[in-house]
Each structure stands twice: as C-alpha cells, then as structure tokens.
Amino acid sequence: MVLDPQDLTIRPAAPADLGDMAALLNAIVRAGGTTAITDELTPEALGRWFLHPPEALFCHVALAAEGTLAGFQSVGRGHDLPEGWGDMATFARRGSTRRGIGGALFAATRARAVAEGLIGLNATIRADNVGGLAYYSRMGFADFDITPAAPLGDGTRVDRIHKRLTL
C-alpha cells in the first residue's frame, strides 16, 4: 500500500531528530545489503555526516501521521563532484519502502537544492541495491558511471552505480 504523501510531514531535520535517525539507519546497517555504510553510527556521528556543515548541506525528515520517523534524505558535499553539485542519500524505515516516503522527501529536497543554487544531484548506490537503483531512476536520475568492486568498510567489494540528475 502506498501512503498518501499528505499523510507525511516533511520538514528540515533538527538536532532533536538525530537519535531517531540513527536508530533508523542502524537498523538498515544491521540488515545489510543496501547501504555502503557498514558500521552503526552514533547520533553525533550521524549529525556530522548528514546534518551539520561542512559535510552536510541540508537534510529533511519524513514523519508519519503518528509522528514516527519514516525516513530522511540528506544532501552533502561530494568531494569528487563538480562545483554546484550535491551528493544525496536516502534512508526509509525498513518495511516502509515503496510507500511514498522517498517521493515526498525528494520533492522537498529538489526544491531546497534549487533554492540553494545547486545545479545537480548525485547519488551513489550499491549495484546490488535493486530497490535503491529503481527509486533514483523513478526520481529522474540517470546512470553516469560505475565504480567496480568498491570496498565497503567491512572489506566486501561491490560495484557502485553513480546516478545524476541535472536540476
């Protein structure tokens, strides 16, 4: 069942969200197979990655009607990206994917990226993350490059697909 995006509240992430964001992301990390992040993050570390400059540019959270964190999406500085491009990451609560969360988050992210003067967004997805690859394609991202056999933090090697969207 797809959630009506009107049932979600999308807003900028705040420091008070970091505990819930870390819990959501760490559940994804423990399950494995979809994120390149292989070690669980503390709320403080997650904040440095996804919420606080200089690495993070901005981040949105999606809250379900009852106030539960359904997902978050961050845009940060990509060290290998051209000037004016942001690097995007998306995380949805396990068991809640394909419910409108990503689309609702992306509407806010795209609007903010344009308002911030970004000219494009990059997403790098594990080649074995079929759902993630499909999501970014649905949002209009196109394959740009492949990094073959990129090592993850735990030593696992997996191809990484780079998708880009010009704004």
Over the stretch 10-57, which tens digit does the pLDDT of each residue have? 999 999 999 999 999 999 999 988 888 989 999 999 999 999 988 899
Look at residue 156 in the predicted model and tell me its pLDDT: 87
Look at residue 155 in the predicted model and tell me its pLDDT: 87
Three-class SS state of 50:
helix
Report which of 28, 41, 42, 37 is spatially closest to residue 152, judged by C-alpha positions: 37
Q: State the total domains in the chain.
A: 1
Look at residue 1 in the predicted model and tell me its pLDDT: 38
Residue 106 pLDDT greater than 70, yes or no: yes
Look at residue 4 in the predicted model and tell me its pLDDT: 54
CATH of the domain at 132: 3.40.630.30
Q: Which residues pair with 120 in a beta bridge?
A: 85, 166
- Residue 60's domain spans which residues? 5-166
Look at residue 5 in the predicted model and tell me its pLDDT: 57
The structure's pTM equals 0.92
Radius of gyration of the chain (CA): 15
Q: What is the pLDDT of residues 119-165, one digit of tens each?
A: 999 999 999 999 999 999 999 999 999 999 999 888 889 999 999 99
